[in-house]
Structure 1
Amino acid sequence: MSVLVVSLLFWGLSLGPATKAAVFLETRPSLWAEAESPLEPWANVTLTCRAYQGSLDFQLFKDGVAQDPVHLFGVEHQFHLGAVTSETQGLYRCRTGMGDGWTEFSNLVEVSGADSLAPPLLSAEPVSWITLGFNTTLVCQGGLRGVTFLLRQEGNDEFLEVAEAPKDTKASFLVHRAGNYSCSYRTHAAGNPSKPSATVSIEELEAPPPPALSFKRETSAFLRPGVRVSFLCVAPLSGVEFQLQRGETKLLLSMSSTSPDRVFFHMDTVAPSESGLYTCRYQLRGGHMAWSVDSAPVELQLSDGTLPAPVLELQPSSSPAPGELVRLLCHAPRAGLRFSLEREDKRGPRVLGRLSPAGAVAHFELRDVSVQDSGNYSCVYVDPAPPFAGSARSEPVELHVDGPPPKPKLRPLWQGAVTPGRDAVLRCESPLSDVTFELLREGEVVTSPVYPATGPGADLVLTYVGPQHAGNYSCRYRSSWPNPLLSELSDPVELQVAGE
């Protein structure tokens, strides 16, 4: 006889701090399991697929393979599995359809065997840290309604907390102290707990981690006095108050927001004296939490264009071979100045670096150049002392690098054959920045373009793998800035599906 095991895994993109509080409409359906008896949950099982709105079609998938669709109008439909056997064990999702096509897949529900209960999913919301005046929540998510969830902290043999969910598939636990946590569930009081979830670490911090600060649109290194400047400060959680600082000075500026985890600070007419390093920070509304660590600084420099233009020199030549080191020397009339190197693109000059050398020449370096570095470069400087005068821009110099862009590398983030119904993640890496990645199978694009959140690569996900996903995959990258380019394909990676 078999035991029903249910674990629910959310499918979707991993959103970073800059996007995770964005408002969106959830359109995918939800899937859960219901048992006729909690004492014998394996004896008679039903999977319920609920649409986000009335639907004309419901379709169940098992181990990545579509079952016959059911055509009816309603908000939900029940798929009766009956007694769980080796034929009905597997990883299930569903989708719903209207006249304009199918929705994306629901969450994942696992139905497995009698020898063990599959683990639930444990996650921290909204963040995985606590600090003075702020606690976080651990959410234990399963796929079977009416179970009891158990929270355990590493180093403690007893369950820390127990929560019943008679009409739900999840339970929330408020966390007050740091540690490593896992959760499990049981179907009735005398039943054995499931396998534990993956461990979630909660860290205790003296101060909340820093937000991210950037300019809203400006890309030029030195702006003209009198222009409008907007700073964007993004926190890792919502419901906070923000503060902008120049050095140690707290600034009172007009603000606006498009989402509860971010704010825009507006400076309507900046003056040369407002040049400098800016940071932002946040705290929970009401002042019950300490101020966060300051963000990484953003430098604002203004130039009135009244000082003589510098001279920009390329070494060793303006047509280097791919992979060479190129030096760009910016010569000014005197020492004690602040320099910026810029490259022209379709939106105007974009800053590549800033230097404050001891002498009158700033040495900028481009290492391992490629075709992406081709373009027109110029430099400017400002006097960091009052009255903060600045130079005109140097005459541009053109850098031209021949050859195709470097080939990316693709590697699988799994070992052996992929279990049907699981996700397959492939990591595509490029030596170039500001690119988007695509995954291809036998020359056909199979994923939407992905821009990496951090680092030199991106994770390309094949969701809910079935036999139809087996084959050879490669990746490539493309860029529209500063020059349009498309890389060659990476070396292929073979995906094998277990049981095929």
Structure 2
Amino acid sequence: MAAPVGFLLLWGETSGVLLGQQCGQGLTIDTVSTGLTLGPASEAATMVETRPSLCAESALPLKPWARLQLPCRARLATLEFQLLKDGVALEHVRLDFPAIAHQFVLGEVTRDNRGLYHCRAGLGSGWTQLSGLVEVTGTEPLPPPRLSAEPVSWITPGLNSTLRCRAAWHSATFLLRREGDQASPVVAEGGEDGEATFPAEFELRDVSVADSANYSCIYVDPELPFVGSAPSARLQLRVDGPPPAPRLRVLGPPVTPGRDAVLRCEGSVPGVVFELLRAGEEEAVVSASSASAAADLVLTAAGSGHAGNYSCRYRAWGPVAFESPWSDPVELQVAGS
């Protein structure tokens, strides 16, 4: 079961009309025209509006129910803010310095924090009136989408593969996640052609064994109330054979004795370890980890003994273990050798 989804509603303060307002949508309260004209004395007696505004926003726009925040914005700078749920005071915040706003963090929407919220701000020795009302509720996730691989889920290195996420939902936002990968998910927008099924395609170019993994996708309604789906069934994408061999080249001008020699190994898979091997030897002379798909391998204070032919490769130990073939050899020349 997926995490509950945040459902954010804001009632108009005077009309009672249900409004779907988020922070930053520019909600304003219009004065009702009565056809009357106020005289000078009446204008002087008009009270200044002091009640703060309360809205809802998320630190994770694609998963708004996961990290919900309720910013309370005062009319005047103040040292105190208070959040109320279902009419009961929850949190009284006293700041070190006056501020115009304070952000109350609810976190993930759960059964415990669903309810009706107001806020108020400090005013003199008391409080302002309560803000407008924000309701935080939850709803069941949408049905899971279907994830498939085209042409097939078992492919050979160097080919392109398309992962297709399908859901019967209009104009949804789709997210693709690789199991064990902590990076942000891949995002794609669904179509708007009015059909019942909207695919989201995620293309993997020049796939290698490093792309072998379990994948799943979800979809999120980009409109209020931000309903999200349960995840699809896991799809196992398997790539047979080693990744492509890297390319090795010597950087900079001809190497003179005592200067560093830099050889750049360029592969096709990021987040791996690169190794440099000298011809005739069995152990790598230099190795380096790199977050990118290339690494500079440095021979410190090169001398005549460093001259010769070199090759490089890259490898990884998890979540999928693999190693590339060795690159074509490159000759390193050192002046005077």
TM-score range, shorter chain: 0.5 to 0.7
Find the partner of 1:377 among 215, 238, 247.
215
Question: Displacement of 1:334 after TM fit?
Answer: 1.4
Find the partner of 1:485 among 319, 322, 331.
322
Q: Which residue of 2 aligns with 1:312?
A: 147
Query: Structure 1 430/253 Cα, relative in aligned 2: closer, same or farther at 3 Å?
Result: farther
Aligned equivalents of 1:463 and 1:318: distance in 2? 45
Aligned equivalents of 1:252 and 1:492: distance in 2? 62
Q: Which residue of 2 aligns with 1:282?
A: none
Counterpart of 1:372 in 2: which secondary structure? helix
Find the partner of 1:397 among 235, 245, 252.
235
Aligned equivalents of 1:411 and 1:251: distance in 2? 56
Question: Displacement of 1:402 after TM fit?
Answer: 0.6
Question: Displacement of 1:251 after TM fit?
Answer: 9.2
Aligned equivalents of 1:426 and 1:251: distance in 2? 54
Is 2:167 the counterpart of 1:332?
yes
Question: Displacement of 1:499 after TM fit?
Answer: 1.5
Counterpart of 1:468 in 2: which secondary structure? helix
Larger RCO (CA within 8 A; separation ≥ 6): 2
Counterpart of 1:419 in 2: which secondary structure? coil
Contact 1:424 1:461 in 2 (8 A): yes
Aligned equivalents of 1:223 and 1:410: distance in 2? 46
**What are the ranges of 5 or more consecutive residues in structure 2 without an aligned counterpart?**
1-58, 70-99, 111-137, 193-197
Find the partner of 2:157 among 302, 318, 322.
322
Q: Which residue of 1 aligns with 2:333?
A: 496
Aligned equivalents of 1:253 and 1:412: distance in 2? 54
Query: Structure 1 253/494 Cα, relative in aligned 2: closer, same or farther at 3 Å?
Result: farther
Q: Which residue of 2 aligns with 1:269?
A: 107
In percent, how many aligned pairs have the same letter? 48
Aligned equivalents of 1:443 and 1:252: distance in 2? 62
Counterpart of 2:224 in 1: which secondary structure? coil
Question: Displacement of 1:476 after TM fit?
Answer: 1.2
Question: Displacement of 1:457 after TM fit?
Answer: 1.2
Query: Structure 1 222/475 Cα, relative in aligned 2: closer, same or farther at 3 Å?
Result: farther
Q: Which residue of 2 aligns with 1:458?
A: 295
Query: Structure 1 251/445 Cα, relative in aligned 2: closer, same or farther at 3 Å?
Result: farther
Q: Which residue of 1 aligns with 2:276?
A: 439
Is 2:188 the counterpart of 1:355?
yes
Aligned equivalents of 1:334 and 1:310: distance in 2? 9
One-letter amino acid of the counterpart of residue 357, structure 1:
G
Question: Displacement of 1:224 after TM fit?
Answer: 6.2
TM-score scaled by length of structure 2: 0.56
Q: Which residue of 2 aligns with 1:200?
A: none
Aligned equivalents of 1:372 and 1:458: distance in 2? 17
Aligned equivalents of 2:101 and 2:213: distance in 1? 38
Query: Structure 1 460/305 Cα, relative in aligned 2: closer, same or farther at 3 Å?
Result: farther
Find the partner of 1:421 among 258, 266, 278.
258
One-letter amino acid of the counterpart of residue 353, structure 1:
V
Query: Structure 1 435/499 Cα, relative in aligned 2: closer, same or farther at 3 Å?
Result: same
TM-score scaled by length of structure 1: 0.39
Aligned equivalents of 2:226 and 2:160: distance in 1? 33
Counterpart of 2:210 in 1: which secondary structure? helix
Contact 1:330 1:362 in 2 (8 A): yes
One-letter amino acid of the counterpart of residue 225, structure 1:
A
Q: How many residues align?
A: 214
Encode CA deviations 1:418-465: one digit per residue, 9 max, x unaligned. Answer: 21011111110001222221222233222242315x5x3121111211
Question: Displacement of 1:403 after TM fit?
Answer: 0.9
Question: Displacement of 1:414 after TM fit?
Answer: 3.5
Aligned equivalents of 2:210 and 2:268: distance in 1? 11
Q: Which residue of 2 aligns with 1:449?
A: 288
- Aligned 1:99-498 pairs, distance under 5 A: 222=63, 225=66, 269-270=107-108, 306-345=141-180, 351-359=184-192, 360-416=198-254, 418-441=255-278, 442-452=281-291, 456-498=293-335
Contact 1:439 1:447 in 2 (8 A): yes
Alpha carbon RMSD of aligned pairs, Å? 3.2
Q: Which has the larger radius of gyration?
A: 2
